[in-house]
Amino acid sequence: MPYDPVYGYHGDGWVFVDEHHGEVIPECVVDVMYVCPSPLDLADVAAAAPAASTPAAAPTFAETEAMVTRVLVQLEVPKPSIRLGPDPSVNEWNMAVVGHPVWLWTDEPATRSATLSAYGYDFDLSASRDSVTFTLGDGSPALTCTSTTPYPGGAAVVGHPSPDCGHVYTRASLPAGSYLVRATAHWTVSWSALGYSGTLPMPLTSLRRVPVGELQSIRQS
């Protein structure tokens, strides 16, 4: 291998590795402050070089749907707000009354949509409420309502049942306690992302305690 007064030792088919920086250099400059490292054959250098990175595969449908389930929380679909009319919390007895029709409804909007960004992708989400299922706590069958009507108040509706979602308690919870009313809103979420689309169910539940009692009439002889 010939010696060059500027570049030091070098020759055809060889390169030098800078051991201080981990880089392959074509020649090695020799001076009083630097010592040339040992030469490596070009084939050895090529074999030791890291392989080119392979692009990550696009997410599958199942992986995309799994991401959607995690992104859904950002859509902030509301839980049902349980409303009863006449409202037992504001009447003079502070209770629902046995034999008196109770109207049931919820206040929150029935739809919610948004485009959300997460994991480096955009997700188009649209949620719609299909129905609400009420269990009234008194052992009666669950009541599923696809529509509800707020109680309007006023003398004209006193004693009248709800046109679409209501209940009549036939026995009191008092004085022992109250009935636990459960409302489950059944939402369907339509989504699209990364060229895929689908739907997911999203049930959300709220609870409310409702005292129920009897009104006693007083007769005077």
Q: Which among 39, 201, 217, 210 is positioned nearest to 140, based on CA atoms?
A: 210
**Helix, coil or strand: residue 83:** strand
Place of tokens 């649209």: 126
The residues, ordered by sequence, that sit 6+ positions from 146 with a Cβ below 8 Å of its Cβ are 130, 131, 164
pLDDT at 131 over 80: yes
**pLDDT at 132 > cutoff 90:** yes
pLDDT tens-digit profile of 46-88?
A: 666 666 677 788 999 999 999 999 999 999 999 999 999 999 9
**Per-residue pLDDT tens over the stretch 136-167:** 999 999 999 999 999 998 878 888 999 999 99
pTM of the model: 0.72
**Percent of the chain's residues with pLDDT above 70:** 74
Distance from C-alpha of 68 to C-alpha of 118, rounded to nearest angstrom: 9
pLDDT, average across residues 187-204: 98
Q: What angle do CA 139, 165, 125 make, to 5 degrees?
A: 105
According to the model, what pLDDT value does residue 3 have? 45
List CB contacts of 172: < 8 A, sequence separation 6 or more: 98, 212, 213, 214
- Please determine, for residue 24, whether its predicted confidence score (pLDDT) is greater than 60: no
For 111-140, what is the mean pLDDT? 97
List the domain boundaries for the chain: 3-48, 61-213
